[in-house]
Structure 1
Amino acid sequence: MTKILLLEDEDEKAEAIIGVINKYIDIDDVEIDRVVSFSKFTAILSISRFDLVILDLMVPMRDGDVPFDITDHVIELIRASNLNAKAAYVAITQHDDLVVARSRELAGLGIATVEYSDGAHWIPALEVSLQRAFRFQEHDFVIICGLPLERQVLQSTKAEIGKLFFRNGLNCLEIDIEKHTGVAVVLPRMGLVEASIATDKAIETFRPKLVLIVGICAAFEGRAKLGDILIGSPVWEHQAGKWFGNEFTLEMYQEPIPDRLDTIIKQEIERSNHFKDIKEDLKSLNDPEFFESKAMVAPMVSGSAVIASKDMAAMIAEAHKRVLGLDMEMFGVYRAAKRSVDHVDFFGVKVAVDYANEHKEDRYQRHGAIVASRVAVQLIPLILAQDGQTLK
C-alpha cells in the first residue's frame, strides 16, 4: 500500500492531483490523506509515515486562515523529521515566483518543485515521484522465509495479514503487528546466496528498521532437543574455508545480533518462561514433549547444502563446542543486514524440527514453523519500541 500525504487547500487542484495518482496507481494500492492547513500537515507528518508527500507552498496556517508562504517552515520541518526522512517530496504550486526563488534550496533537501497550471506539463514530474514512492515503500520490518510454509503459518499468529504482491522481484505479503507495518518475503529457492540477495533487495525497497528470518532448522543431536527455539547469535557459514587434501580449515566469519536485541530477547525469554503461552494450544496436535522445549540465544551455522549426514554434522560441530543449530539462510540474512548502508537491526528465530543426520522427517515441520512465527511476532513490537521503554 502506497501512502501519500497531500497538503492542498484548493479543491479543484487537489482533485486534479488525485486524478493523476489514481491513473498511475490502482485505487486499491494507494491511501491518500489530504489536509488543507499547515497546522494539520505538521500534526499528521509527526505521527504517520508516508511514501510520498505532495504539498503546496501557499496554504493557510489553520483552516479558514489566509494562505501564506510556508517554505521556511517546510524546510525546518523536513530537516527535523525522522519518521518521514526517507519519503519522496514534491511541491506543486501555482506561484511561479516561489518556484524561481526557492527551487534550488528545496532541491537541496530532495524536494522537487513544479509550477502548476491548467496544462499538463506538471504531470510528468508528479509521475516520477509516484514511481519512486510506489517502488520504494517504507515499512518497519521485513520477515524473510526460506519456505512457503514458513510464511503461511503467520496466519496462526496475532499478526494482521494483508494481501500478496510482487515488488522488485520479491514475493511479498503485507503483515501488520500492532502499530507496525511489515512485509514477509519468501525466497525463490533456499540457500545463502538467495537469502543475501533477497535481504539486500528488501532493505533497499522497504527501508525497514528491522530484518529477521523465521522458520525451522536442524539441531545437532546431543546439544539441542527437537522443539528448541533458537535465536541464532553468533552465526557463521560452515562452508567458508580451505580444503587442503582431505583436511578442511574453517574460516569462521561470525555475525552476532546487535547487543540491544540480545538483551531484549533474553529478557523476554525469561519473562515469558520460554514463550510457554504461545505453545499451549498446540500440545494436543502433536507430541507434547516437542512443545516443552527451551528458548535460547545460541550459536548457529548456515550452509546452502542440506546436511543429512551424522559424520558431516560432527565435523561442522567440531568448530564450536556450543553450536546448537544448522540452517540454510540465517548467515546470509545477517550479513546482508550488517552490510546495508542504512542501520538495520536483525535477528533470526528457528525451531529445531529434526537432527542433522540421515533420519530426516517432517512430522514437526508445520508446528515448529508456527512456534517460530509466534515468537517472532511477540518479539517484533518489543524490538521496535523506543530505546529505554520498559518491557511489561
Structure 2
Amino acid sequence: MIKLLIVDDEYEKVLQIKSEVSSLDFEVDIEQATTITAARRMLQQQKYDVLVIDLNLPDATGAPPSEGGGLKFYDLLLLDLSSSIPTDIIFLTAHENLASSLEHEITGRGVSLCQFIPGQEQWKVFVRGRVSLAAARLKRMSALNADIDVAIITALGPPELDAVLNLPYDWKSKRLPGDPTGYHFGVMKRAGKSFNIVAASARRKGMPSSAALAMKMVESFRPKYIVMLGICAGVKARTNLGDVIFANPSWDCGSGKLAENDDGSVVFHAAPTQSPANPHISSLAMELAARDSTISAISGGWKDGTPQGRLSVRVGPMASGAAVLATSSALAPITAQNRELLAVEMEAYAVMAAADFCRAPAPIALAIKSVCDYADAEKSDNWQAYAAYTSAAFFHQLFTDPDFPV
C-alpha cells in the first residue's frame, strides 16, 4: 500500500487529486495537511511514500496563505532530522504566476513541478505516473526485504547455518545490492499462520561479528523476532551433549574490571548486565521442554549416531565470552557469576544487546544453542553437527507450536 500526503488547503483540488489516485489498480492511503505546521507534525510521526505540496501554503491554522510557503516547507523538511523525507515529492499548484516565478528554484532543489489546471489531463497523467512509480519501487523493495517475521543468525556456516537450511522452509538464496552477506529466505508453515524467515551466518566467531550482523539484519528486514542458533559449551554436571539451552538470561561474562589485591595479585571483578528472554516465550519453552513429544520429535529427526544420555531441553543462564574455552578450569570463574549457569558460548549476548539498541519497533531477541562439548581439555568437534541440529530442531518446535505468540 502506498501512503500519500497532500499538503494543500484547497479542498476541491485535493478531492480531484484523490479521485485520480483512487482510480489506480493498487491501494493508496491518502491523507491531507492544510498547514506547514500540521504537515511537519505528520511527517515526524510516520513515513509517506509520496508527498504532494502546493506552493501557496499557510504556516498555521488561521494564518493567510503565503506565496512560496510550499517551498519554505520543503526547505524546513530537509533541515528537520526528526521528519521522514518521502522518496517522491511533487509540487502541484494552480497558481500559474507563482509556478513560473519559482520554477527555477524548484528545479534546483531536485523536485518536480506540475501546473494544476482543472479539466486538463496533463496534471492527472503526471500524478498517476509518479504514484505508480512509487508503487513499483515499493513493490521491488518489498520483494527483496520486507515482511520478514523471523531473522536467524548463526556464527558459523557449517555446521550451524547448514542445520538451519535443512529445516523444511523452501529456502531461496539471495544477495542484496551492496551487501556482502548472503541471505537465505524461507517460509515456515504453521496452522493459521506462516512465518517469513531470513537466515544468515556471521562466518566469524565472537560477539563483534554477530552484533554487526544482527544490527544490519534488523535495519534491513525489520523482523518481529531475531534468533541466535548454533552450538555452545555446557556445564558438565548439568547438561548432556546435544542438550538444547534456551538462554534466560544471557550476559557478557568478560564484562567487569581487572584490579589488584593488596598482595599484588590480579583479581577480576565481574560486572555483567544480564539480558532476560521474553517471559511469555521462555515459559512456553519450559512447557515444551517437559513434553515427551517435543523430545521425541527432535530425536526422531536425527539419523546418525548420538551421544550417551537422554536429550533434554533446558531454560536457564547462558554466558557469552570472547574466547574459546578448552581447559578443565575454564568454567569455574564464569559459574561464580551465576550458580545456575548451564552453558557458555561466544555470541548470544551480542544479539540480545543489539536488539535492545535497535530503533523502534525493536524485535524480540532469543538465543537457542545446544551443547557440543564441555569447554574442557577433552573438547572436540565430534558432536557439533548433532548439537547444531538439535538447536535448529527445537527452534522449529517452538515457533510452530500453536501457543507461540504471533
Answer yes or no: same fold by TM over 0.5.
yes
Q: Give 2:172's match in structure 1, choosing from 162, 177, 184.
A: 162
TM-superposed deviation, 1:373? 0.9
- 2-side partners of 1:216 and 1:141: how far apart? 19
Q: CA RMSD in A?
A: 4.0
Residue 376 of structure 2: aligned partner:
357
- Which stretch of structure 1 is more off in the superposition, 367-376 or 142-151? 367-376
TM-superposed deviation, 1:289? 3.1
Residue 213 of structure 2: aligned partner:
198
Residue 152 of structure 2: aligned partner:
143
The alignment's TM-score, normalised by the length of structure 1, stands at: 0.68
TM-superposed deviation, 1:327? 0.6
Q: Percent identity?
A: 20
Structure 1 residue 153 corresponds to structure 2 residue 172: no
- 1-side partners of 2:145 and 2:340: how far apart? 41
Deviations 1:77-133 (A, max 9, x none): xxxxxxxx98863479xxx99xx99x98xx9887645467579x9599849868976
- 2-side partners of 1:287 and 1:211: how far apart? 29
Q: Give 1:257's match in structure 2, choosing from 252, 266, 277.
A: 277
The within-5 A match list for 1:23-62 is: 57-60=20-23
Secondary structure at the residue paired with 1:363? coil
Kept in 1: contact 2:46–2:84 (CA 8 A): no
Secondary structure at the residue paired with 2:239? coil
Q: Give 2:258's match in structure 1, choosing from 239, 243, 261.
A: 243
Structure 1 residue 71 corresponds to structure 2 residue 71: no
The alignment's TM-score, normalised by the length of structure 2, stands at: 0.65
Kept in 2: contact 1:87–1:133 (CA 8 A): no
Equivalent position amino acid for 2:297 in 1: D
- Which stretch of structure 1 is more off in the superposition, 334-343 or 121-130? 121-130
Structure 1 residue 89 corresponds to structure 2 residue 89: no
Q: Give 1:217's match in structure 2, choosing from 229, 232, 251.
A: 232
- 2-side partners of 1:323 and 1:309: how far apart? 17
Q: Give 2:339's match in structure 1, choosing from 321, 342, 348.
A: 321
Listed as ranges, the gaps of 5+ residues in structure 1 are 8-54, 64-68, 74-84, 388-392
- 2-side partners of 1:295 and 1:232: how far apart? 11
Deviations 1:134-171 (A, max 9, x none): 88634111001000021112233222211132464433
Structure 1 residues 275 and 165, CA, compared in 2 at 3 Å: closer, same or farther?
farther
Kept in 1: contact 2:230–2:370 (CA 8 A): yes
Kept in 2: contact 1:216–1:368 (CA 8 A): yes
Equivalent position amino acid for 2:334 in 1: I
Residue 369 of structure 1: aligned partner:
388
Secondary structure at the residue paired with 2:330? helix
Residue 297 of structure 2: aligned partner:
277
Listed as ranges, the gaps of 5+ residues in structure 2 are 4-17, 33-44, 59-69, 78-82, 91-113, 115-122, 260-264
Secondary structure at the residue paired with 2:331? helix
- 1-side partners of 2:247 and 2:331: how far apart? 17
Structure 1 residue 341 corresponds to structure 2 residue 304: no
Equivalent position amino acid for 2:154 in 1: C
- 1-side partners of 2:181 and 2:334: how far apart? 32
Aligned residues: 312
Residue 187 of structure 2: aligned partner:
176
Deviations 1:281-322 (A, max 9, x none): 42x5113635x2110111011012101111222222222211
